[in-house]
A and B are shown apart, each in its own frame.
Chain A
Amino acid sequence: MSKAATPSLSKYKTLTRAGIMEALTFRASYVISVLGNLVYLVVIYYLWKAIYASSNVDAVNGMTFSDTMIYLVLAAALGNFLETYLVWDIGYDIQTGRIVLNIIKPMDFQVYTFFNYSGKYLISFFTTFLPTFILVYLLTGGAIVIGINILFFMVGVILGLLINFCIDFFVATICLYTQSTWGINIMKEVIVMFVSGAVVPLAFFPEPLKTIVGYLPFQAIYNTPLQFLVNESLTVNKCIEMLLWQVFWMVLTLAASRLFWKKSLKIITVNGG
């Protein structure tokens, strides 16, 4: 490695490490989020049990009760893993004017932001998603097949994470214009969670809606990686096709968020400091 490359790489590592330290400091938030997730699990378990009890058939739209549960539990775990409150943080930085301190750093702002959150991503993957996945795997007695699909899932999750990050970044940029954070953030959250199939599995969506949702980038965040995990009928070709779609969405959202940010930087106004 050349001398110049080492410091430039180490700045990313430093950001990641700082993020890990930060995430480890806020343990109370972890305890409460685990508690919140447990309540959520209890509620969706009894809710869907009651819902399935009203149906005379076991599988509705190809989904049995345990399929639905596995899907929703993993979607919730994935949701916890991907939620970084990025829009919230950037919105706050814009309102307080602190954002200038980050913009003038000798590093691309979007790259800086990503690595700023990378430590948090790492920690929450190992503390929320992985334990949940292992628990679901053990509890369902191997309903999830472990094979090549895990590889697809890993790639799918990383692509989903990047798409989610770019959408978050795009939405955070809107805050530059509106000076509103709560409203923008909640709209994004509702759309992403609902249209990605994290609240109700996409398999249940009625026809015109299902097709429309299929053409949106949001389903590539949750639905695609989850399909790799739970849908055994997927062929390798189909998996590759889905991955390519994810790549397409990633490139598109990345380009859109970068372009939008670049255009918006010109209008930034910070009151004093």
Chain B
Amino acid sequence: MKKRGISYYLHIYGKILVQDIKSKMSYRADFIISMIGMLFVNISGFLVFWITFQNFPSIKGWNYNEILFLYGFSLVALTPAQLFFDNNWNLRHYVYSGDFIKYCFRPINVFFYFISETFDIKGLSQFLFGSATLIYAWNKLGLDFSIIILIKVILALITASLFMIAMINISAATCFWILGSVFILMLVNKIKDYARYPVSIYNSVFRFIFTFLIPIAFIAYYPSLAFLRQNDIPVLTYLSPVIGILFFYTSYKIWMKGASSYTGTGS
């Protein structure tokens, strides 16, 4: 098979995306309610911090605005997984029912084709709320700003998002081998919410777990240190782009291994 360039894939992605948005738009009420629902989730997360800081001055040396920075950062970093990789949640249905076989017959990358089928619009309201929180905290903290810094932030956000995407890919791919994969997805989905807290609150055991085993510390904590604790940036912050890319690549390989071992259901 001829190797195809990135522009070809972008072209295909655009076509599939438009179809998906068209079909979503036919359920307009659902679309609007989902957007508002997402906003509710984000606002309640904010209110938890707001109420906590009405009663307490700080969390392990992190003040209100710094915590909001972490929160906003984590929301934006979690958005790409929500927007572009949400079809992972449906993977098990296709695999168990046998419909997954249709993806195997197309002359394009299976992972790409499957993932591109869903664009989860409600992630956009999370992106907006997260960005607003991040900008608010940035202003309140009086951090410097320039184009270079903006590029740094964007790179840090993309790096951070790779960790969530990789975790979702791996947990969804477990459905190729086991039946109860949805519970693994739900567990990861629940744990991702804890990315908004500084990892320094845990003891060394849990710090290790949340850094290397369930790497939620890379979603907000380590990248944020590059902006909030500029005199004391840990090595892991510098290494996070490399770790992120490796982790994502590993998740892709696991997913593809599952897909290539897929034999259908015979129907």
Task: Please report A residues at the B interface, Cβ cutoff 8 Å.
Answer: 28-29, 31-33, 35-36, 39-40, 42-43, 46-47, 49-55, 60-61, 177-180, 182-187, 190-191, 193-194, 199-200, 204-206, 209
Contact = CB atoms under 8 A, between A and B. Distances in A.
A60 B54 CA distance: 11
A179 B48 contact: no
Contact of A186 (B37, B60, B179, B187): B37
A209 B60 CA distance: 27
A180 B186 contact: no
A183 B183 contact: no
B201 A46 contact: yes
Nearest to B180: A28
Give the size range of B's interface with the partner. Answer: 35 or more
24 contacts: A31-B183, A32-B180, A32-B183, A35-B187, A36-B186, A36-B187, A39-B191, A42-B202, A42-B206, A46-B202, A46-B206, A47-B59, A47-B197, A50-B201, A51-B52, A51-B59, A53-B60, A60-B56, A180-B33, A182-B37, A183-B33, A184-B33, A186-B38, A190-B40
B52 A204 contact: yes
Interface of B: 27, 29-30, 32-38, 40-41, 44, 47-48, 51-52, 54-60, 122, 179-180, 183-184, 186-187, 190-191, 194, 197, 201-203, 206
Nearest to B42: A190
Given A50-B59, A187-B37, A43 B52 contact: no
B203 to A, nearest CB: 7
A185 B122 CA distance: 14
A126 B194 CA distance: 28
Nearest to B41: A190
B197 A43 contact: yes
Contact of A200 (B29, B48, B197): B48
A47 B34 contact: no
Could you say which of A28, A179, A191, A193 has the most chain B C-beta atoms within 10 Å of its C-beta? A28
A33 B114 CA distance: 29
B40 A180 contact: no
